[in-house]
Amino acid sequence: MTDAELNTALYKKMFAEQEQFKDWLLTQPPEKILEHSYKYSVREDFILALEYDDLTRGQAAALLASPTPLDDLFHTYESTETHHMEEVWSCLESLAEYRKAERAVQEERINISCKEAIEGAIDGNYKGNSLDAKAAAQEVLDQFGPERVQTVLAATIKDKDWDGRFSCENKAWAQTVPMQEGGENRNRRSHWVVDSHPGLVNLLVDQVRDMVREREKEKPSVIQQLRQESAAGKIKAAPPKKRETER
């Protein structure tokens, strides 16, 4: 047999071996199929590699002499030290970092929109030298939700903490509001600082805080919700996370 014929013979033998394994696998219950999915995938890769490349005459003949060359290859691969999990983790980190940067840009845009909406609500509800703070607060809370509105208002007070028109209570409150990543940097948050009159913003903050407190009283706690969902069978516990040293 020529080198090409030996490689073709080996390819056909491995292909038939895989087809036999596949036929057996398809008769198994779903749990068993999932258990062997990695093995099936790796074996497919070996067949694909041989389809696009050739072994030397001696190498092909040696593997061809085995009754189960594909199974031998898988067990050899399985026992070989590889960097597979390091590559998986690197891919995970890279995508997470990309998504984090992408999300930061999106959050920045939404914060700017919220800031502009707050300014619009103040302008639209300021009549006769008086601000209808409740209407303005309701407007922005309904549009952006309490977390976003409080973040933008707290960032505004932090940015202008020197301004005496903001009350000491609201300044203290602003320090308790967690900022999204980068939000503690004054330069990063400068684009979503409300530019309306500080006295009017202070009135709006008072109203927003009151309304958020009322909403918090009305909704069940997170623990209560989790207990209710668990009792209803909606939550499936994840398996315990392995220690980092076990990766």
Judge if pTM exceeds 0.85. no
Task: Give the side-chain half-sphere CA count within 13 A for 213.
Answer: 7
| pLDDT score of 234 | 59
Write the single-letter amino acid at 178: P
Q: What is the 3-state secondary structure (H, E, C) of 157-208?
A: HHHCCCCCCCCHHHHHHHHHCCCCCCCCCHHHHHHHCCCCCHHHHHHHHHHH
Kindly calculate the radius of gyration of the chain based on its CA atoms and give it in whole angstroms.
32
| pLDDT score of 220 | 64
- Cα distance between residue 22 and residue 16, in whole Å: 10
Domain ranges of the chain: 3-78, 106-227
Could you list the pLDDT tens digit for every one of the 247 residues in the chain? Answer: 899 999 999 999 999 999 999 999 999 999 999 999 999 999 999 999 999 999 999 999 999 999 999 999 999 998 887 787 888 889 989 999 999 889 988 999 999 999 999 999 999 999 989 999 999 999 999 999 999 999 999 999 999 999 999 999 999 999 999 887 655 666 778 889 999 999 999 999 999 999 999 988 876 666 666 676 666 665 566 566 565 444 4
Give the SS3 label for residue 130.
Answer: strand
Task: Report whether 111 contacts 192 (CB < 8 A).
Answer: yes
Extract the tokens encoding 30.
């779903």
Taking only the tens place, the pLDDT of each residue in 208-234 is 999 999 988 876 666 666 676 666 665
- Cα distance between residue 95 and residue 97, in whole Å: 5
| pLDDT score of 88 | 85
